[in-house]
Amino acid sequence: MNDIDFECTECGKCCHDLRLALTVTEAIAWLERGGRMELICEAIPWPVEPEPGNAQAEYKRARSSPAMSGSLPVRISIVLAAAFEGACPNLRADMRCNIYEQRPLVCRIYPAEINPFVELAPQNKGCPPDAWQNKPLLRQGVLVDAATVEQIEQSRRANQLEAPLRMQVCTELGLNEAALANEGFVMVSPDSDALLSALRKIHASGQSQDAAAQWTFVSNRTGTVETLQSVGAAGHLVETSVVGNARYHGFFPPS
């Protein structure tokens, strides 16, 4: 088990070129400040429920919503992401956060990990070498700061509780295409006003749909589409990476 020290140098590097996963309330606030959001969608084939005790599957299940793709049961994972190229719109010239007291949970938690299956590794973080010293961050693999532990719990709870609401937002916006999990993402940049209005409506009602929605897989690989279709799923090839306001980001070259 590892010990890690850390003290933020306020270099501002972690506030650039990001997709920040937000809660519904944070997403509403982000849009109200004029920020841009994306919905990042992936679909996991889920023909049968996993055996009890499969912690990774349970984690995925809790953060996704049931749906159908053709006749194949799937789970859809949707991330509400604040998106920006270059500096965050809230980053000041002195590298301080302009919304420090209202900054999203994910910003408060960094560089700790939210996903319990991802180990915190300094080499995977954008922080400079001189940040990894001075104050205890991890002792024997356990986070030292109680506030960060609570924020991680809060983030995980929101991610789980809001999964049906994120699905409802997609339904409201007519979004029903996702990449195959671990092969890519579909990233949609909806009209900000339409997204804000859908989020406000869903947040106010707190209701989610009952019927499992129909979703379609998209892929840049012919073999993937054919395999999915052979098991009853709806899927098609993406010819270009950008279609309308949606972008397919594949992890593998087209084939």
Binding residues (CB under 6 A) for ligand SF4: these are 8-15, 88, 90-91, 97, 99, 103-104, 107, 110-111, 126-127, 131
Both tokens of 10, joined, read: 């306020």
**DSSP per-residue letters across 195-224:** HHHHHHHHHHH----SSPEE-EEEES-HHH
Q: Which residue has the tokens 């960094």?
A: 110
CB of 121 to ligand SF4, least distance (A): 14
Q: How much of the chain is helix, strand and coil, in % rounded to 5?
A: 35, 30, 40
- Phi first, then psi, for residue 172 (nearest 5°) are -60, -35
CB of 204 to ligand SF4, least distance (A): 25
How far is it, in rounded angstroms, from Cα 217 to Cα 69?
7
CB of 147 to ligand SF4, least distance (A): 15
Q: Which is nearer to ligand SF4, 148 or 216 (CB)?
A: 148
Strand partners, 80: 39
CB–CB of 80/39 below 8 Å? Answer: yes
CB of 80 to ligand SF4, least distance (A): 15
Strand partners, 213: 67
Q: How far is CA 163 from CA 16, 57, 186, 250, in A?
A: 27, 15, 17, 23
CB of 93 to ligand SF4, least distance (A): 12
For residue 142, give the H/E element and its range: strand 142-143
Q: Which is nearer to ligand SF4, 107 or 165 (CB)?
A: 107
CB–CB of 36/82 below 8 Å? Answer: yes
CB of 90 to ligand SF4, least distance (A): 4
Q: Which is nearer to ligand SF4, 43 or 107 (CB)?
A: 107
